[in-house]
Structure 1
Amino acid sequence: MKAFTIAEPEVLCCVEIPEPTTSPADVLLKVRRIGYCGSDLNTFRGGNPVVSYPRIPGHEIAAEVLSIGSDVPAGFAVGETVTVFPYTQCGECSACLVGRPNCCKFNQTLGVQRDGALTETIAVPWRNVIQAPGLSVVELALVEPLSVGFHAAERGRVTADDTVCVIGCGMIGLGAIAGAALNAGARVIAVDVADNKLVLATKAGASHTVNSANEDLHTRLMELTGGHGPDVMIEAVGMDTTFRACIDEVCFAGRVVYIGYAKRPVSYETKYFVMKEIDILGSRNATRENFQSVIETLRSGRYPVQGTITQSVPFAEAGKAMQRWANDPSRVTKIQIEVDAKA
């Protein structure tokens, strides 16, 4: 069968691979649609430190059930469309033992530490198949990336009483905005340097926007929070400047959540850690509960699905689409690959 693989940095090509083998506990899926993730772009560019080559990308998945293993419990049906929980858990590390398997020390995400789903078919353990009746394949392929942002809002303990500032309105930032605003009911301030992304952030639930290329971030945040600063700062960019801005701008007794990875060491004015008594939190991947929250939000119709999709391309153009994204990433929110364009 056909698959797309990142053979080495800057080289993505179509290859033939064997059909997947299945165990009695597996569900065989026909892949319908795949979303490209920022981690896929980093792998393509050669900047993903946890990837080895060649690597088949793809963990934002919409698929159709082809067959069901003999040990799979009742409830799945051939022909239904589903998404996939793309992470693993060892069950034995410190994170798993305290009920936080999303940050399992030995996690292997599809398309990152192990081959992903940019293929024609894939076998998946039944426990990782997520049913979401009523969602389209476009929506199913958005569940995972939105869940990552929902998890960040959960890590920040966001409530309806909070003012939350999200820095970065790419796909993960939009998930954080929707998780904080649409799911938790918070007031959200979205920050980016692109006006088109701020327009989309408003549709995803942001009450206020700040273009930090044109406005002074500190001044605007003070105006919008009565001089206190936001209760929660969520960083979804991965820059040293935005990492520091979260510490500088969060209110006293506030919370800071980091989703992005800074590409170089970050220097802090550490007195604010103590003076403000802030909680500094990392956020990795998502939980099954986050998946369900996103599914309910998508079912409600409140999230701007079509506005989020920058481009949908046929399977044969997956390589060209990745190259175009690498050449001009600022214009892209989400690219989806139509692996099987069945109506």
Structure 2
Amino acid sequence: MQAVVCHGPRDYRLEELPVPTPGPGEALVRVEAVGICASDLKAYHGAAKFWGDENRPAWAETEVVPGHEFTGTVVQLDDAARARWSVEVGDRVVAEQIVPCWDCRYCDTGNYHMCAPHDMFGFKRRNPGGMASYMVFPVEALVHRISKDLPPAHAAFAEPLSCALHAVERAAIRFDDVVVVAGCGPIGLGMIAGAAAKFPAEIVALDMDPRKLDLALRTGATRAINIADTDAVAEVKAMTGGYGADVYLEGTGHPSAVLQGLNLLRKLGRFVEYSVFKDDVSVDWSIISDDKELDVLGAHLGPGCWPAAIRLIESGRLPMDDICTHQLPLAEFQRGLDLVASGAESIKVSLIPG
């Protein structure tokens, strides 16, 4: 089969590998689509920081098949896998990006998304990812069925959408809140869609791309601000009687968006950080404490949000054709990475194995 293989920073290659063989309790899946996200790009560039471990050489081990946003069709499984996941041969499935150990402090307390070993598809050799014609779902995986009627790239969007919905849950949005979402890429658009389901007073989308801001309005934003020509902090304060927003969801991964959020939130506001950052971020922490007493929350992966993400995609309420802008053959993985790095032409880029 064809597969993309990591040989180190900026050294990914399309290779021929044997089709993997599932073991007891596992499933063999024919991959239909795999998305490329910011963390894939960070791994490609060999980011050294992973969970605060400066000694780790890179996010992705060498000789691993990347890709953690995928969908595919089950082609082989045994009775144990069938009973565990309630799936059959021929079902279209997605799997959560984390492969929990189910035996650490976090897994034992229901917080499987923070599993201590933290094996994820596409980053370690133990669990090859979806940039291949076939992949194996191990016993520990969390697997969900998804409609065969969806285009494959739409089905694979369940992963970033579940992440965005988890960030929305962390924000504890209320009906009278003014919610600001920074960034209208895949995560930001998912945050807007999730926030819209909470029906707050306002959902304000921030971006520099008019095309993405238009898409944000179609996804559920009530107002769009182009930060290239408008002072977002002043605008949000003007619309809130000088107080500021109640909730700020950060989905850009740009350091300037962090300070922007701290400044445009009201006192006692809620800041939720989801992004993957390329650079360190420095801010005046007295804004968080002495000035405003903010709640600052992180969000990681999409625990418990996959069924909702799948229902939202299957409902047809989202402009998925415009969100999933590029579908490329596996052989064009480098072009896909370059499109994500640029951000100017694309929103969600997916690879479609042959």
Whether TM exceeds 0.5 here: the answer is yes
Alignment partner, residue 32 of structure 2: 32
Alignment partner, residue 53 of structure 2: none
1:59 matched to 2:73? The reply is: no
SS, match of residue 72 in structure 1: helix
1:119 matched to 2:135? The reply is: no
Aligned-pair CA distance for 1:96: 3.0
Aligned-pair CA distance for 1:2: 1.7
1:284 matched to 2:293? The reply is: no
Q: Deviations over 1:131-177 (max 9, x none)?
A: 12355122211000111111111111123332210111111111111
- When structure 1 is superposed on structure 2, of 236-245 and 302-311 the one drifting more is 236-245
Aligned-pair CA distance for 1:213: 1.1
SS, match of residue 233 in structure 1: strand
In 1, distance between residues paired with 2:287 and 2:8?
Answer: 44
Alignment partner, residue 167 of structure 1: 182
In 1, distance between residues paired with 2:181 and 2:339?
Answer: 27
- 1:114-263 correspondence to structure 2 within 5 Å: 114=125, 115-125=128-138, 127-133=141-147, 135-136=149-150, 137-181=152-196, 183-186=197-200, 187-262=202-277, 263=279
Aligned-pair CA distance for 1:334: 0.9
Alignment partner, residue 107 of structure 1: 118
CA contact (8 A) 1:25 1:71 kept: yes
In 2, distance between residues paired with 1:48 and 1:170?
Answer: 24
Alignment partner, residue 46 of structure 1: 46
SS, match of residue 167 in structure 2: helix
118 and 261 in structure 1: CA distance in 2 versus 1, 3 angstrom threshold: closer
Q: CA RMSD in A?
A: 2.0
In 1, distance between residues paired with 2:106 and 2:263?
Answer: 30
1:303 matched to 2:303? The reply is: no
Alignment partner, residue 23 of structure 1: 23
Q: Deviations over 1:212-270 (max 9, x none)?
A: 11001111101222322111101112232211122211112211001124412412141
SS, match of residue 285 in structure 1: coil
In 2, distance between residues paired with 1:135 and 1:150?
Answer: 23
CA contact (8 A) 1:29 1:65 kept: yes
Q: Deviations over 1:100-125 (max 9, x none)?
A: 22122321221234431111111103
Alignment partner, residue 95 of structure 1: 106
Q: Deviations over 1:182-236 (max 9, x none)?
A: x322331110111111111111111111111100111110122232211110111
Aligned-pair CA distance for 1:16: 2.1
Aligned-pair CA distance for 1:31: 0.6
In 2, distance between residues paired with 1:207 and 1:296?
Answer: 23
In 1, distance between residues paired with 2:235 and 2:29?
Answer: 49
SS, match of residue 254 in structure 1: strand
In 2, distance between residues paired with 1:55 and 1:11?
Answer: 12
CA contact (8 A) 1:234 1:257 kept: yes
Letter in 2 for 1:226: G
Letter in 1 for 2:36: Y
Letter in 2 for 1:331: E
100 and 33 in structure 1: CA distance in 2 versus 1, 3 angstrom threshold: same
In 2, distance between residues paired with 1:57 and 1:23?
Answer: 21
Aligned-pair CA distance for 1:279: 0.7
CA contact (8 A) 1:32 1:339 kept: yes
135 and 293 in structure 1: CA distance in 2 versus 1, 3 angstrom threshold: farther
Letter in 1 for 2:194: G
In 1, distance between residues paired with 2:38 and 2:30?
Answer: 24
CA contact (8 A) 1:229 1:250 kept: yes
300 and 159 in structure 1: CA distance in 2 versus 1, 3 angstrom threshold: farther
Letter in 1 for 2:166: H
Identity %: 29
Runs of 5+ unmatched residues, structure 2: 50-58
113 and 247 in structure 1: CA distance in 2 versus 1, 3 angstrom threshold: farther
Aligned-pair CA distance for 1:307: 0.5
Runs of 5+ unmatched residues, structure 1: none
1:264 matched to 2:287? The reply is: no
In 2, distance between residues paired with 1:113 and 1:231?
Answer: 39
CA contact (8 A) 2:339 2:346 kept: no
